[in-house]
Amino acid sequence: MRSDLVLHLAPADAERVEAVAEHARRDAWAERLFDHDTTLWSEAPAVQATIAERLGWLDAPAHFALEVPALEGFGDGVRVAGFTTAVVMGMGGSSLAPEVLHEVFGSAEGYLDLRILDSTDPAAVAATVDDLDPLQTLWIVASKSGTTTEPLAFMADAWGRVETALRERGSDQRPGEFFVAITDPGRSLEAIPHQDDLRERFLNLPTVGGRYSALTYVGLVPASLIGLDLDALLASAQAMLARCREPEPEANPGVHLGIAIGELARAGRDKLTFLADPAIASFGAWLEQLIAESTGKHGTGIVPVDREPLLHPGTYGPDRVFVRLSLKGEDDGGRAALADQLARRGHPVIEIGIEDPIELAGEAIRWEVATAIAGAVLGIDPFDQPNVEEAKERTRRLLGANGSAGSMGAGSDMADAIQVSAGEAVLTDALRALTARLSAPSYVAIQAFIAPDPSRDAAIGRIREGLADHRGCATTAGYGPRFLHSTGQLHKGGPATGVFLQLTSDHPTDRPIPGWPYTFGRLIDAQARGDREALRAHDRPLLRIHLGPELDADLAVLERALFQALR
């Protein structure tokens, strides 16, 4: 069997990768992975025990192939019941897989529209759900633990809206008829409010971690609602699993990739930069959370760089590896030519081509295998997340045991902020001090605790381009609190090369969380502050810029100040 993976490596890099491949062949890494041999990652019995409970993703496609008729029946029943939209309320792995499926495939004719709610910014919540009829919307709360703050807050908001709509229309239906839960059995299910009254409860395999859950109910329930061919999706995954059993590492599409990205990171090329065709670019966000959360710990890790603006090939530093992910017949926007130029300059370039979007299920498996193998190369457990709870614990403390969170108002938390209202000169000085330390292997992480919007995506993209172009460093960006469930682990536990620019904002129109002692505005403010405190506890350099109520205008001011600072 021959892998479709193509590696373009300089001789020294090729020798390093081949040496690890020989080790993997000798020690039977592929066979041990599929035998669930936990000694592949650790000799410590306690660590082995926890890893043994996180390898269910290897069996998930076969398991869920048997559930396809029931899933299709559920999707048919939802449409017959008159639902027109589904809202996935989740974070990290629980929301990114549905987002990829909907952005790549859309909804088939006659099937439901799909929206993703993964921001606690009150304006973002309003923009996602307020134009929907609550009684024509299927609300999907997705949480592996059942205790994740954000989806439970979204559920409380939606439950209140459904109750109000039922009362106003004099309906005798129960609110739970409009809700579905995707979670684990036992305590996870029990933690979800009203779980006994929900329309449906989809209980996942507890041996599948959240970031490895794309091909469980997390992805398959939304897929059934938008009309995807579930049999074809799971067949692609099972075909890739079969290929990844190949004992010969260099013919194994997952093991070979994992060896390459792991060993190149060990050699200092730890910025894994995706050059994906626009039609499948959303897959990068799912890859980002898989790789960052799995490898970023104990001072090591791989920094995924997703949706970075394309730069001149001479701009990129020696810490880069490039992944060229292409879809047959699609316009690549210049990415193929860029990849060729980068390879000629000696940068490692990994080429992966797919012929049909349905093959993204197989790609998910390839990258899950690769990430597990990269963990073995790096000498870490790719299934734990030792730093994820740090920001969450600080957020809970800030919100307070009594829930008042009175100190978290936007105007009372400015001691560590540079406010845009202070003027461009003040901003420029602060940004100059932050960016002066930048050069590869440093990277900039922009953490935007603001409402997502295409115009803000564009502004952040221009900021990233300016930083990368002028300082030669990699750039990443994420909206908070979404990125906390994706790259947050890497930021605290990974290589100490990150420089952090946090953006916060006012909330001119806040939003209560029904039955909760604080609002969405106070929640996201506490999440931003909790993350700042956690980063500073790890001595990560951080600058906080506070934007006022006119977000787009203030982002323009920030842009101008940044380019002044970079001169």
Q: What is the pLDDT at residue 163? A: 98
CA 503 and chain centroid, separation: 19
* Residues 315 and 469: beta-carbon distance below 8 Å: yes
Task: Say if CB 289 and CB 295 are below 8 A apart.
Answer: no
For the domain made up of 60-234, the CATH class stated in words is alpha beta
Residue 4's pLDDT is what?
83
Report DSSP letters for 342-382, one per residue. HHHTT--EEEEEESSGGGHHHHHHHHHHHHHHHHHHHTS-T
Burial of 499 (0-12, 13-18, 19+ CB in 10 A): buried
Tell me how far apart the alpha carbons of residues 455 and 86 are, in angstroms, rounded to a whole number.
25
Residues paired with 85 in a beta bridge: 113, 137
User: Do 215 and 98 contact (CB within 8 A), yes or no?
Assistant: no
- Helices first, then strands: H and E counts in the chain: 21, 15
Q: Is the dihedral of CA 353, 356, 358, 359 positive or negative?
A: negative
Judge whether 6-40+247-378 and 388-566 match in fold. yes
The CATH code that applies to domain 6-40+247-378 is: 3.40.50.10490
**What confidence score (pLDDT) does residue 57 get?**
98
Closest by CA position to 409, among listed 400, 401, 420: 400
- By residue count, the chain amounts to 567
Encode burial over 211-226: b for 16+ CB neighbours within 10 A, e otherwise.
Answer: bbbbbbbbbbbbbbbb
CA distances from 183 to 39, 54, 286, 477 (A): 29, 15, 19, 28
Domain 388-566 has CATH 1.10.10.60: no
In the chain, what are the domain boundaries?
Answer: 6-40+247-378, 60-234, 388-566
pLDDT at 405: 43
Which residue type, as a one-letter code, is found at position 132?
A: L
Give the tokens for residue 213: 């859950």
CA 92 to chain centre: 5
Amino acid at 510: D
pLDDT, residue 89, reads: 98
Question: Widest CA span of the chain, in angstroms?
Answer: 73
DSSP-assigned states of every residue in 254-285: THHHHHHHHHHHHTT--EEEEEE-GGGTTHHH
Per DSSP (E only), the strands in 132-230 are 137-142, 179-183, 200-203
pLDDT computed for residue 46 by the predictor: 96
- CA 356, distance to chain mean position in Å, is 23
CA-to-CA distance for 125 and 122, rounded, in angstroms?
A: 5
Six token digits for residue 473: 């460093």
Per-position pLDDT tens, the chain of length 567 = 335 899 999 999 999 999 999 999 999 999 999 999 999 999 999 999 999 999 999 999 999 999 999 999 999 999 999 999 999 999 999 999 999 999 999 999 999 999 999 999 999 999 999 999 999 999 999 999 999 999 999 999 999 999 999 999 999 999 999 999 999 999 999 999 999 999 999 999 999 999 999 999 999 999 999 999 999 999 999 999 999 999 999 999 999 999 999 999 999 999 999 999 999 999 999 999 999 999 999 999 999 999 999 999 999 999 999 999 999 999 999 999 999 999 999 999 999 999 999 999 999 999 999 999 999 999 999 999 998 888 889 999 999 844 544 444 444 578 899 999 999 999 999 999 999 878 899 999 999 999 999 999 999 999 999 999 999 999 999 999 999 999 999 999 999 999 999 999 999 999 999 999 999 999 999 999 999 999 999 999 999 999 998 999 999 999 999 999 998
